[in-house]
Amino acid sequence: MPVGLSWPEAAALALLALALVVILGRYLWALRWSLSRDRGSALPLPRGSMGWPFFGETLHWLLQGSHFHSSRREKYGNVFKTHLLGRPVVRVTGAENIRKILLGEHTLVSTQWPQSTQIILGSHTLLGSTGDLHRQRRKVIFSRAALECYLPRIQKVVSWELRGWCMEPRSIAVYSSAKTLTFRIAALILLGLRLEEKQFKDLAKTFEQLVENLFSLPLNIPFSGLRKGIKARNMLHEFMEKAIQEKLQRNNPEDHSDALDFIINSAKEHDKEFTIQELKESAIELIFAAFFTTASASTSLILLLLKHPSVIEKIRQELLSNEIPCTGSQLQLSRLRYLDCVIKEVLRVLPPVSGGYRTALQTFELDGYQIPKGWSVMYSIRDTHETAAVYQSPPGGFDPDRFSATQTEAVGRFNYIPFGGGVRSCIGKELAQAILKLLAIELVSTARWELATPSYPAMQTVPIVHPVDDGLQLYFHLLQPGQGREG
């Protein structure tokens, strides 16, 4: 303690010194990013805050959810800078801005996921592939022939799960139940796994731990999100290696009907053999493509149909008029035009993910600002849907008819981007839409559902849309023959 100072005075002096260090640190952090602007461009950096040293605004983003982006958009505009998950980021909203990004793939920008996501998922995935390899694998896994193969079995899984919900005397936590449904689809139909129920539950729990830590700070230290994600990945890889070895040893042509089989067989046709590591990473990616986001969208579908019973009745009438009490093919699904509009509107109002990531390959202009080479660009799906003028009538309302044949052109290509766009649009979008349609058909044909709580839950948006604390609790009941949905 300095001579002549009392303990309170010394403590106050220490706090003052600490405050000055913090202020100086934050100033130097902001200065560091201001100096990173491309001096070859006369344009300024976007407005915004880079937060605290190293952590940036990551904690604010995780805690505030969608309010983080909306509050900063209102303060700084449709293009603003921030610092998330260890990277400088420019957040972008608006159809014209997003058009430039999505159509600038490979010239202005390249696909880029957070470092934690790349580490956990690995380097042999569709997310990280480019060019002919990306196009070829994408075409094989989600081709029309592949989807036709998946759909009848998806329908059986959906029907079986829904009947289980209806037989449950207690209320159902919809988001948890939807995750069970979509994980079962991924495990049984995309990977062809043969699982006992305990194995299934253990695998689902481990995969959930992996996904929950995909978007974390790139710190591989004890108890960090990244370390937890890596641990979950290693456990999944160990299980997948055994399952893949069994699949390769069986080599029964009659069993070649899941997505993993399509990958293996396509490689053989092109005189290529995938390594076990490549197949393990592909297997995890297939579950990732069909699991959390589809569970989120399924939960949103059930919630929004509950809030709008007139939409349920219109779906039911369309099924009757097409003589489709149930369906199992793309041809049948394509005839259900109103149902297609319903699914599109669900994904507009509550898109599962908030946006997509890219990296600037060169410095370019956006909305009067420079986007420096090497910075991350995060385009906003949710904000674009919420702010587009074309959706303001009815303002914020749930209106499937806005996607009818007479109004689709007015929506515009880049005002509606629930699956992203361009060559890097969501790899599982056709599969996800088919699952949602089959779920809707089974729901309105065989069940009625009602809220088990006094009010609807709030919805959390980070990292994906879901009810806070899994608060969407519903009772499901089987319909009797000829019975309509009760209010």
Cis omega (within 30 of 0) for bond into 481: no
Q: How far is CA 323 from the centre of its chain?
A: 34
What pTM does this model have?
0.87
14 three-class SS: helix
Residue 31 falls inside a structural domain: no
Residue 57 falls inside a structural domain: no
Among the listed ranges 89-98, 173-182, 212-221, 242-251, which one has the minimum average pLDDT value?
242-251
Number of Cβ within a 10 Å radius of residue 441: 26
- Structural domain range at position 474: 131-478
Mean confidence (pLDDT) of the chain: 86
Q: Can you give the length of the chain in residues? A: 487
Tokens of 38: 């491309």
Tokens of 285: 């990616």
Tokens of 323: 């003589």
What local confidence, expressed as pLDDT, does residue 131 receive?
53
Bridge partners for 379 per DSSP: 92, 356
27 three-class SS: helix
- Greater pLDDT, 425 or 212: 212
Give the CATH number for residue 404. Answer: 1.10.630.10
Q: How confident is the model at residue 127 (pLDDT cuts 50, 70, 90)?
A: low
What local confidence, expressed as pLDDT, does residue 22 receive?
77
Residue 124 falls inside a structural domain: no
Residue 260 falls inside a structural domain: yes
Nearest Cα neighbor of 248 from 259, 237, 264, 235 is: 264
Q: Average pLDDT for residues 176-189, to the nearest whole number?
A: 92
Residue 109 falls inside a structural domain: no
Task: Name the helix (H) or strand (E) containing 396.
Answer: none
pLDDT tens, 42-80? 999 999 999 988 889 988 888 887 788 889 999 999 999
Q: Average pLDDT for residues 218-245, to the nearest whole number?
A: 92
Q: pLDDT at residue 118 above 90?
A: no
pLDDT tens, 348-388? 999 998 888 899 999 999 999 999 999 999 999 999 998 88
Question: Quick one: CA dihedral 223, 225, 226, 229, positive or negative?
Answer: positive
Residue 121 falls inside a structural domain: no
* Strongest mean pLDDT among 321-335, 408-422, 443-457: 443-457
Residue 426 assigned to a binding site: yes
How far apart CA 465 and CA 393 sit, in angstroms, is 24
What local confidence, expressed as pLDDT, does residue 140 receive?
60
Residue 250 falls inside a structural domain: yes
Residue 67 falls inside a structural domain: no
**Domains in the chain, number:** 1
Q: What phi, psi does 480 have (nearest 5°)?
A: -80, 155
How far apart CA 438 and CA 324 sit, in angstroms, is 11
pLDDT tens, 448-458? 999 999 999 99
